Structure 1
C-alpha cells in the first residue's frame, strides 16, 4: 500500500467484552441505583420542610391569617409551614420498579399542598384557597447528584 496507513490491534478483547456485558447487566436492572437515588431524594425532600422552600429555592407562601389564628388558638408554632404535626414530611416514601422510581406521599391532602387549590366543603377550612407549596421535585444540585450516583453505579461495571 502506497502513502500512509493506520493499523489498529485490539488487545484484551475478552476483557472489553466482559466489561461491556457487565455494563449491560448493570443498566438492565436499575433497582439498586434507584434505591440509592430514592434514599437521597427522600432525605433531600424532607429537608425542604425544614428550609420551607421549593426545589428551585423559592420560599413557600406565608401562612394565611386564618391559619395563623387557628394555630395560636391550638397552641401550635406559627412560624412553621406544612409542619403542624410533621405527618406530611414523615409520610414521604419512595417505591422502586425495574426501571422506575416514584417519590411522594399517600396523605389525602398532599396534592393540595403541592399544587394548591380550593378546600372542599368537608375540609376544616371550607372553601379557602390554599397556595401551592411545592415540596416534590428535583433541584439542580439534586440532578447533579443523581447523575453522579448513576455514573458511579455504571462505572462499577468496568
Structure 2
C-alpha cells in the first residue's frame, strides 16, 4: 500500500519563508541597527558610564590639574603668582572636566559601518582602543557596546522588518 500526500500551496509557503529569512539581511535594517549602536555609544559619553551602566572611573588629580593648566594658558603665570592653584578660574576648569571629553575628538570619531547582515560601530583614532580596554596607567572606560535597552531597540527593528516582509 502506498500513500501519497500533496500539500496545496507548498511552493507559495516556501517562497514566503525564504522572504522572511532574507528580511533582516537588508541594508536598511542594518543601517538602523548601526544608528542605534552609535547612539548608545554617544549616550555613554553623555552619562559617563559603560554600556552596562557601570560608571567610569573618575579622572585622576594629575589629569584634572593638567587639563585646567592648559585651559588657563593665557593667564596662568598671573594666577599662579597670586593664587597658586586655588584661583576660581583654575578650580572651575578642574571641576567641569568630563571624562574622555578633553578635546571631543574621540566622541566625534565614532562612526558606523553596515552591510547586508552586519552593523559595526567604532573609532579610527589610535588611542580609542586604550580607552575602551584600558592600558598600563589608563583605566578601561568602555564606550562601545549596547545596553539592555539598546538591545531591545535593535530587536524591535529586526522584528519590525521581519513582520513587514512576512505581510508583503
TM-score (norm 1): 0.78
Q: 1:148 aligns with which of 146, 151, 156?
A: 156
* Preserved CA contact (<8 Å) 2:113 2:120: yes
Give the secondary structure class of the aligned counterpart of 2:37.
helix
Q: 1:25 aligns with which of 8, 22, 31?
A: 22
Cα distance in 2, alignment partners of residues 99 and 26 from structure 1: 10
Give the helix-richer structure, 1 or 2.
2
| Structure 2 residue ranges without an equivalent (≥5) | 1-6, 72-92
Cα distance in 2, alignment partners of residues 151 and 16 from structure 1: 19
Instruction: Give the deviation of 1:12 after TM superposition.
Output: 6.7
Counterpart in the other structure of 1:113:
131
- State the structure with more CA Rg: 2
Counterpart in the other structure of 1:42:
38
Cα distance in 1, alignment partners of residues 156 and 116 from structure 2: 20
| Structure 1 residue ranges without an equivalent (≥5) | 1-9, 119-128
Instruction: Give the deviation of 1:41 after TM superposition.
Output: 1.4
Counterpart in the other structure of 1:92:
110
Matches within 5 A, 1:64-83: 64-75=60-71, 78-83=96-101
What does the per-residue CA deviation read over 1:57-106, in whole Å, with 9 as the maximum and x for residues that have no partner? 11100001111010110125643000111111110011113322211100
Instruction: Give the deviation of 1:55 after TM superposition.
Output: 0.6
State which drifts further: 75-84 or 99-108: 75-84
Instruction: Give the deviation of 1:13 after TM superposition.
Output: 6.0
Say yes or no: does 1:138 pair with 2:146: yes
TM-score (norm 2): 0.74
Cα distance in 2, alignment partners of residues 101 and 51 from structure 1: 24
Give the secondary structure class of the aligned counterpart of 2:66.
helix
